[in-house]
Amino acid sequence: MFRIVKKIPLNPTVTEMYIEAPLVAAKALPGQFIILRVDPDGERIPLTVAGCDKKAGTVRIIFQIVGATTEKLNHKKEGDFLQDFAGPLGRPTRTEGLHRVCIVGGGVGCAIALPVAQKLHDDGCEVTSIIGFRSKDLLILEDEFRAASQRLVVMTDDGSYGRKGNVCVPLKEILDSGERFDEVITIGPLIMMKFVVETVRPTGIPCTVSMNPIMIDGTGMCGGCRLTLHRDGKRVTSFACVDGPDFNGYEIDFDEAMTRGGMYRTAERHAYEETCRLFRMQKEDA
């Protein structure tokens, strides 16, 4: 069992937790993830590691409340325990040999991008970070990104904070001005990453995306996280849990990934609504 040491609401739909998991904390690197279960009968969900304190033996996770399991997780309190917390899984983000990098994060994907930006910054890399949110109310991690970046651009869809627009606007401006990076790393919603890749493509700059599709076991056996890549004129199947989660953005079939990601949307919504109903009933009975 894994104890919740600290729980902090970051905005109305995003929560930060610190989990006591010393074996995971000792080995986890930026870009890797864990798979957890809230209770013995719960489903397994992947969450990317948002940071580790090796001395304290804690792992930081940041999650958005979007389904039944994240709703259950959000109802846990400090001092409560999680059933499973397995990891670290996946391959860490490659940061060696990079001198100028642009990090592009969207929404809760910024929680995944932050430790990558911090690692690059600690290694002496010049980091430009562009982070985007729907509105000011959903903004997270601004101060930490600012500390890890030589330049930070904050975007909101409605213009309630920072600049108005999506993350591709300042990215295109920077690239059109002639600036170049060793790599662009983007993490966020699939549609956002697709357009970031297309913005970068004309420059030929390597563009890495972090994929977080449906996962069950996290070891490559279930096949739920399979992705189609277009490589050397061929369609290649890869598995995000063992081959990723980082991939060459130019190779990803984003349209297929978005279609597969929405396959269970109706069932997920039903499970979420049922979970919320049960919590309401428990509250009324208390």
Residue pLDDT, tens place only, 100-153? 999 999 999 999 999 999 999 999 999 999 999 999 999 999 999 999 999 999
pLDDT tens digits, 173-217: 999 999 999 999 999 999 999 999 999 999 999 999 999 867 777
Confidence band of 224 (pLDDT split at 50, 70, 90) = confident
Domains contained in the chain, CATH given: 2-89 (2.40.30.10), 93-210 (3.40.50.80), 211-266 (no CATH)
* Inter-CA distances, 163 with 87, 130, 136, Å: 37, 11, 11
The mean pLDDT value of the chain amounts to 90
Confidence band of 218 (pLDDT split at 50, 70, 90) = confident
Per-residue pLDDT at 272 exceeds 60: no
The pLDDT score that the predictor gives to residue 284 is 63
The more confident residue out of 257 and 248 is: 248
Q: What does the alpha-carbon distance between residue 223 and residue 217 come to, in Å, rounded to a whole number?
A: 9
The pLDDT score that the predictor gives to residue 28 is 95
The pLDDT score that the predictor gives to residue 275 is 67
Q: Of 6, 48, 10, whose CA–CA distance to 30 is shortest?
A: 48
Contacts with 30 (C-beta within 8 Å, 6 or more apart), sequence order: 49, 92, 93, 95, 115, 116, 118, 119
Contact in structure between 97 and 52 (CB atoms under 8 Å): no
pTM value?
Answer: 0.88
Q: Of 10, 144, 2, 115, whose CA–CA distance to 64 is shortest?
A: 10
